Amino acid sequence: MSNYKDVIEKLIEFRDERNWEQFHDSKNLALALSIEAAELNELFLWKKEHELSEVNYEKLKEELADVLAYAFLLAEKHELDVFDIVLDKIKKNAVKYPVEKAKGTAKKYTEL
């Protein structure tokens, strides 16, 4: 099992071997992330609950890997640790969505 830093190093090595850093400004990385997320969503589009198990598992892995790769590269570009920013967001959400108000509901914090 690789760790996060190993993955980032491999992504950067792959990018640099192809001289693609010139295309990896923040805007383009964010757009690529959004596009790949849309491709991930497309796997589930128009499927009913009982059809979700029919989603192509290999394609799911590929699209999710693309989403994560662009997210990691964008975070690395801005010197952000993905684990730190996710943990910070969990803390913020804990305040917005206290268990006693949010448990079992999908309502937005402004509706609680």
Does the pLDDT value for residue 19 go beyond 90?
yes
108 confidence band (pLDDT: 50, 70, 90):
confident
Does the pLDDT value for residue 59 go beyond 70?
yes
Which of the four CATH numbers 3.30.460.80, 1.10.287.1080, 1.10.30.50, 3.90.580.10 does domain 1-80 have?
Answer: 1.10.287.1080
pLDDT at 1 (0 to 100): 59
pLDDT at 10 (0 to 100): 96
Q: Where are the domains of the chain?
A: 1-80, 81-112
Model confidence over 64-103: pLDDT tens digits? 999 999 999 999 999 999 999 999 999 999 999 999 989 9
Task: Tell me the DSSP string of 39-103.
Answer: HHHHTTTT--GGGGGGS-HHHHHHHHHHHHHHHHHHHHHTT--HHHHHHHHHHHHHHHS-HHHHT
